Amino acid sequence: MFSLINPDGSVRDRLPLTLDEMKALYADMVEARTYDDKSMAMQRQGRLATYAPFRGQEAAQIGAAAALAEDDWVAATYRDAALNWRAGYPWELLILGRTGDERGGQVPEGVNILPPSITVGGHMIHAVGLSWAEKLSGSDRIALTSFGDGATSEGDFHEAMNFASVYRTPTVFLCQNNGYAISYPTSEQTRSDTIAVKADAYGMPGIRVDGNDVVAVLVAVREAVSLARAGDGPSLIEAVTYRMGPHTTADDPDRYRDGSDVTVWAERDPLERVRLLLERQGAWDEDWQTELESEASETIEAAVAWAESVPPPTFAEMLNRVYAQPSPALREHLETGEPSQM
Amino acid sequence: MFSLINPDGSVRDRLPLTLDEMKALYADMVEARTYDDKSMAMQRQGRLATYAPFRGQEAAQIGAAAALAEDDWVAATYRDAALNWRAGYPWELLILGRTGDERGGQVPEGVNILPPSITVGGHMIHAVGLSWAEKLSGSDRIALTSFGDGATSEGDFHEAMNFASVYRTPTVFLCQNNGYAISYPTSEQTRSDTIAVKADAYGMPGIRVDGNDVVAVLVAVREAVSLARAGDGPSLIEAVTYRMGPHTTADDPDRYRDGSDVTVWAERDPLERVRLLLERQGAWDEDWQTELESEASETIEAAVAWAESVPPPTFAEMLNRVYAQPSPALREHLETGEPSQM
Amino acid sequence: MPEVNLAQAINGALDTALRNDPRVVLLGEDIGRAGGVFRITDGLRASHGPDRVFDTPVAESGIVGAAFGMAVAGMHPIAELQFLGFSYPAYDQIINHVARIRNRTNHRFSAPMVIRIPYGGGIGAAEHHSESTEAIYAHIPGIKVVVPSTPADARGLLLAAVEDPDPVIFLEPIRLYRAIREDVPEAVDRVEIGPVRVERSGDDITLISWGAMMKETRAAAGALAEDGYSVEVIDVRTLAPLDRDGIVASVEKTGRAVIIHEAPLTGGFGGEIAATITERALYSLLAPIKRVTGWDTVFPLKRSEAHYLPSVDRIVSAAHETLEV
Amino acid sequence: MPEVNLAQAINGALDTALRNDPRVVLLGEDIGRAGGVFRITDGLRASHGPDRVFDTPVAESGIVGAAFGMAVAGMHPIAELQFLGFSYPAYDQIINHVARIRNRTNHRFSAPMVIRIPYGGGIGAAEHHSESTEAIYAHIPGIKVVVPSTPADARGLLLAAVEDPDPVIFLEPIRLYRAIREDVPEAVDRVEIGPVRVERSGDDITLISWGAMMKETRAAAGALAEDGYSVEVIDVRTLAPLDRDGIVASVEKTGRAVIIHEAPLTGGFGGEIAATITERALYSLLAPIKRVTGWDTVFPLKRSEAHYLPSVDRIVSAAHETLEV
Ligand SMILES: Cc1ncc(C[n+]2csc(CCOP(=O)(O)OP(=O)(O)O)c2C)c(N)n1
Ligand SMILES: Cc1ncc(C[n+]2csc(CCOP(=O)(O)OP(=O)(O)O)c2C)c(N)n1
Ligand SMILES: [Mg+2]
Ligand SMILES: [Mg+2]
């Protein structure tokens, strides 16, 4: 497994990043974790619909997104808020989406990120199509798709991997193997030793990387992105990580796992090892941490405030977004339908 | 690639079969080819619906079926008439099916063969379910599923392979890689070097075998069957062969292949090499050949005669086979519907 | 099993089926250790063992296809798909294989299996979690489609489905899982798949619905009764096979009908019912049939959900328009 | 393009689309070198190159999903699925993704793409090759469903579909591919997606159909005219969005309607049309609406096909029953 930073903050190899870049990655992870914590709390207060926390997976997501160019395509999942945000999806729209508002999917022009996929497996092939189109039009834009270990069981994973390799599309497949598909452990989902090895079935490079090591992920995804951009086709990256929280706020992990793994993985926390690394280099102190956290908090609070200030969609808005022009039936609904009492 | 008999009839290794067994395999292949030729002719006369010939694939099919026990399950395709027949599916029902009659799927009790699958890819998982049920009930019956190279592109292939390995079901996956999915060559369908290697993605044994060598196929499938029966789970066998004829009687291969490959593969004919082998051992002569052919012809003619003597399904029969008991709508159709003029 | 809700009634029926018939097995995503995302299979793996209750990979086509193979081999599998919106990857297996094996083998093989699927909106769920696409199943010959709306029907219809010689799609109304409690004696064994249930008798108008919308339909019937109307309420319960006689008999009596469903209007199963009434009871009709349905849009997210779901008010006012003709 | 059949008209429209718009690409199984199993894409790879016309692996979900991604990125892909019976593996992509991207991004992204699918029976084909399950698509918000029955409509509607900002399912009636020839000037550019086409005007009865069944419907209209009736024939052409006004206007005039489709009765799209008429033109109806449809069974194999397909006789006698009320 490819890894560069040990859990204690020591490094295995020279890191290809400046100290400032390391600090920026750390700051991003802190901001992401703040968002995650805040979202869990808001959901408990009934201010968000079900929420899928990514605690423990910050390195995989921030590291991957940091390897992308601004206008690359991203097709990721309900758990990938950190990845999407770092790739350009504004927090406020992610939050708006989680309040249960379709307008959360309306990213600004120039941001090429699909709304988080709720179906497991269906979105990987979209990244193939997106990047295929870019290849055909001669642009050097690529697409990254992020998905879980569970998604690799879907037939759509197979078709996406196959199309990407057959047409050599500039696609990066990032699997965050976080140990579970809801309650079903990765070890039972498949009999292959790793997920990375599945790339062989498509003649595609596959690599396994420590998903809690933000630099290792960044380096691996950067390599895959370069291959793709250079016309050398798709790759699969398995980022081995762990979902520290429940599957979603509706889930109770005690039904299917005892706490022992959680304890083990807590020692491998993706933020802590970078903090230690920075501390070793004299680039971290409590003040900076406090500053980071309070800035992040303010940012997220502001995003929440904005999202919560958006008036709910009207009846007409609900019906006007199905087609470019509403169908005759929708026009009738608009005329005769009684808007309900919210 | 595992192979035992060379195209010139010489052998690479001691064959694990008696001369009588070899002769029986040869006779079966002759009978199958007779059926295939006859079916092509009948289709041209308008007596069959579209027909998918298996010429060139007799060894793969007869070899595989010869490795099965009488009551094992088989889930195969529209091109697998030889396999199905050797496994117990009566010629006359195969022919009845090809005239366009659902009763062709009504195999006798004791024959555990599903009707030939027309959808590409959908039937592999059925073999997984069938054999899973046998495993759960403690029987030692296994299931073999046969499919083409093209079918390995379907998501259902992936799900079937994964379920089989996850639950260690006694399933044998036989892929007849005959070079094409209709017009699309295997070399373009995937970037993996072989189809056998795809087994790695499931932690399953995968083997590549000369599909025109009936003994090699028999040995490979026998091995997979033993593993399955012993509780050691599923295997994938890629039988490398070539479709000598058109995809179906509706196809024109000249649109997508020049004759050169056909010439090459004609030299690797699966019947001829066994004939040469037998001849080398003094176990083949013209008389026997003539006898085999005329017996086969009679058998097939009789089967055809039977199938053609079956009166067409009545209107009521058509409606009475949808459910165990017809629904109220079907009962109304039965009362009020006017049987059409045939 | 006195006083259970719909979720508990289904759990109990599954337990009974597993106990009574060794051919019954359960398979689906998270149904084992976790007891299902709605806890419908809670405790069943513990009490019946991991060889009767299987957690599966996230692969709906695989789940249905494997269950199909098991059924052909003589078992009676009960598969769970996590939400109706995630049943579409299995649609090919259902329509092309599950529904057809009897027909294509002239009864030699069959697939006695149940596919349980939670469906419908009203809980502010994420995308794809609120679907009500029963019409795409009810159109397919070879399967049956059952939608209970009460605990007793849930138990009785599920036990009937398990014993049915043909495959049954069993749709479970999510927002009724824990909404109603009722006394369901264990002795209530089977409810016949097919006949509608006349839930309330009346002479002025027939309200026709099924599954989750029965809640609003009942409330609307209550409101109309308070306005002095005599309301008949039909719970269709089985969309396929459809009990046309049961529906037509009611409308012949009342002369007025409102059909209520959650799915979008166009192509919803209400069209079939309205067409049936027109074909068979045209001369009894005192007013045009009305359909109160979801709008022709994707089921919306939480903040718009109340705009979408047919409300008691919409049903009542449609009924009034019908009654005032 | 004078005097072409429906297959040639589609081929010509694809050629025009490829020529006029660099964003158009074609993808599907065997559409390139082989020119498609029905030869609809014959010659297009040769004339437009392998970077415009792609043969694909046998993977319908992949084809539609990849085309969807291309469309979101700004192309106008035209995917071919080989038969409607093989579209089900792609159903999830169509319903959960293709149909929804505009809605879930509030117009930020859209999927301007066409999915061409040959459909229908009548050629004695193998299992799954004769499906007519248009109803399962017409029910889905976010897509359009078009079914031409003449060469001119095929060309015009296909060109409109390619330019449509929303995804269009384009169903091609197999048994009409080479059945009718007509003059289709290249100048016939677009036929609006939506409005029905009144193919024949009359006052006594309206026959309503689409796609492949238009052939029998036309013949029935001819027969009824010989019997002295004045028959109106409506080719619905677009199932979604449905031109309710066009249909209702006709029935308001004639007072009688027979709806003809090949799909099984129950849950077929005829139900929607009958329901619409009853809701909006009840008081114009002089007789119950009739539906002449396939039976509630799996489309049968060759030897039973004539039992299944609605015949001219069945249409004529249903019309007579309607007329004699
Ligand atoms: C097609 C489909 N089937 C089932 C579900 C229900 N479901 C939601 S998340 C999930 C598990 C996914 O696991 P994984 O891919 O490992 O992602 P993770 O949640 O661990 O990030 C399931 C089964 C779904 N959303 N889509
Ligand atoms: C799901 C599905 N998609 C498409 C088809 C149309 N089709 C019939 S055979 C075939 C090619 C199959 O190739 P392969 O699996 O290699 O089998 P072969 O015909 O070569 O034996 C295709 C695409 C089908 N029958 N089913
Ligand atoms: Mg996971
Ligand atoms: Mg092949």
How large is the average pLDDT for residues C91-107? 98
Cβ neighbours of C187 (radius 10 Å): 6
Which amino acid is residue B85, in one-letter code? W
| CA A262 to mean position of chain CA atoms | 21
Of the candidates D62, D303, D313, which has its C-beta nearest B101's C-beta?
A: D303
Q: Which of C59, C194, C241 sits opposite B159 (nearest CB)?
A: C59
Q: Which two tokens stand for residue D162?
A: 């390619």
Q: What is the B151 CA–ligand 2 centroid distance (Å)?
A: 7
Average pLDDT over residues C289-311: 96
pLDDT at A48 over 90: no
Cα separation of B321 and B45, whole Å?
Answer: 30
A residues 121-180 closer than 8 Å to D (CB): 122-123, 125-134, 136-137, 143, 155-156, 159-160, 162-163, 166-167
The residue in chain A having the minimum alpha-carbon distance to the alpha carbon of residue D24 is A133
Interface test with C, best of D95, D238, D293, D303 (most C CBs within 10 A): D95
Residue A330, φ and ψ in degrees, nearest 5: -65, -35
Classify residue D286 by its DSSP letter.
S
Pairing, β B180-181 against β B184-185:
antiparallel
Location of structure tokens 């004769």: D130
Q: How far is D221 from chain B (nearest CA, A)?
A: 19
- C-alpha A116 – ligand 1 centre gap (Å): 12
Percentage of chain B with pLDDT > 70? Answer: 99
SS (H, E, C) chain A: CECCECCCCCECCCCCCCHHHHHHHHHHHHHHHHHHHHHHHHHHCCCCCCCCCCCCCHHHHHHHHHCCCCCCEEECECCCHHHHHHHCCCHHHHHHHHCCCHHHHCCCCCCCECCCECCCCCCHHHHHHHHHHHHHCCCCCCEEEEEECHHHHCHHHHHHHHHHHHCCCCEEEEEEECCEECCEEHHHHCCCCCCHHHHHHHCCCEEEEECCCHHHHHHHHHHHHHHHHCCCCCEEEEEECCCCCCCCCCCCHHHCCCCHHHHHHHCCCHHHHHHHHHHHCCCCCHHHHHHHHHHHHHHHHHHHHHHHHCCCCCHHHHHHCCCCCCCHHHHHHHHHCCCCCC
The encoded tokens of residue C159 equal 């036990």
- Please, which residues have CB within 8 angstroms of residue A331's CB and are 6 or more apart in sequence? none
Q: Taking 80 as the threshold, does the pLDDT of residue A179 lie above it? A: yes
Tell me the angle at which helices B19-44 and B286-309 cross, rounded to the nearest 10 degrees.
50
Chain C interface includes B342 (CB < 8 A): no
Assigned token pair, C16: 């009974």
Q: Is ligand 1 within 6 A of the CB of residue A250?
A: no
B169 residue type, one letter? T
Amino acid B338: pLDDT: 58
Tell how far the Cα of C26 is from the centroid of ligand 3, in angstroms.
23
- Using the predicted structure, report yes or no on whether residue C297 has a pLDDT greater than 90: yes
Tell me the CA end-to-end span of chain A in Å, nearest whole number: 52
pLDDT of residue B336: 84
Contact predicate D40/D11, CB 8 Å: yes
Q: Catalytic residue at B256? A: yes
Average pLDDT over residues C103-123: 97
Q: Is A183 close to C306, i.e. CB distance below 8 A? A: no
With a 6 Å cutoff on the Cβ, whether C58 touches ligand 1 is: yes
Pair of tokens at residue A5: 């930073």
What chains are in contact with D, requiring at least 3 Cβ pairs below 8 Å? A, B, C
pLDDT at residue D126, rounded to an integer = 93
The SS3 assignment for B162 reads helix
Best mutation site among A58, A123, A156, A182 for ligand 1 pocket (most ligand atoms within 8 Å of CB): A182
Which ligand has an atom closest to residue C82 CA?
Answer: 1
Distance CA D189, CA D194 (A): 16
Mean pLDDT (chain B) is 96
Contact across the interface for A183 and C307, Cβ inside 8 Å: no
Query: Looking at residues B315-324, what average pLDDT do you find?
Result: 97
Nearest CB among D33, D61, D296 relative to B330 is that of D296
Q: What is the pLDDT of residue A338?
A: 59
Please tell me the residue having the least CA distance from ligand 2 atom 12.
B181
Task: Render pLDDT for A124-164 as a digit per residue (tens, 0 to 9).
Answer: 999 999 999 999 999 999 999 999 999 999 999 999 999 99
Task: Give helix A58-66 / helix A214-229 axis angle, nearest 10°.
Answer: 40
Q: What pLDDT, on a 0 to 100 scale, did the predictor assign at position A341?
A: 35
Do the Cβ atoms of D62 and A115 come within 8 Å?
A: no
Q: What does pLDDT average to over chain A? A: 96
DSSP reduced 3-state for A255: helix
Q: Does D57 sit behind a cis peptide bond, omega within 30 degrees of 0 on the bond before it?
A: no
Q: What is the pLDDT, as a whole number, of residue B49?
A: 83
Confidence (pLDDT) at D185: 81
- Nearest CB neighbour to D126, from listed B118, B252, B314: B118
> What whole-number distance in Å separates Cα of residue D110 and Cα of residue D69?
10
Q: Chain A closest CA to B156's CA: distance in Å? A: 6
The helix (run of H) or strand (run of E) holding residue C239 is strand C238-240
Q: Is the ipTM of this complex over 0.95?
A: yes
How far apart (Å, rounded) are the C-alpha atoms in residues B112 and D296? 28
Mean pLDDT score, B327-341 = 80
Cis peptide before A90 (omega within 30 of 0): no
In this complex, which chains have at least 3 CB pairs below 8 Å with chain A? B, C, D
pLDDT score recorded for residue A337: 77
Q: What is the mean pLDDT of residues C256-268?
A: 98
What 8-state DSSP symbol labels residue D295? -
Closest CA to A5 of A228, A236, A278, A200: A278
| Residue of C139, C137, C195, C143 whose CA lies nearest to C168 | C143
Q: How far apart are CA D118 and CA A35, in angstroms?
A: 49
Interface test with B, best of C52, C55, C61, C276 (most B CBs within 10 A): C61
pLDDT at A340: 41
Distance CA A65, CA A217 (A): 10
Q: Which ligand is nearest to the CA of A54?
A: 1
pLDDT of residue C185: 81
pTM summary value: 0.98
B181 min Cα distance to partner chain A (Å): 15
Distance from CA of C71 to the nearest CA of A (A): 22
Residues in chain D predicted with pLDDT less than 50, given as ranges, are: none
User: What pLDDT band is residue C325 in, cutting at 50, 70 and 90?
Assistant: confident
| Cα B255 from chain centroid (whole Å) | 26
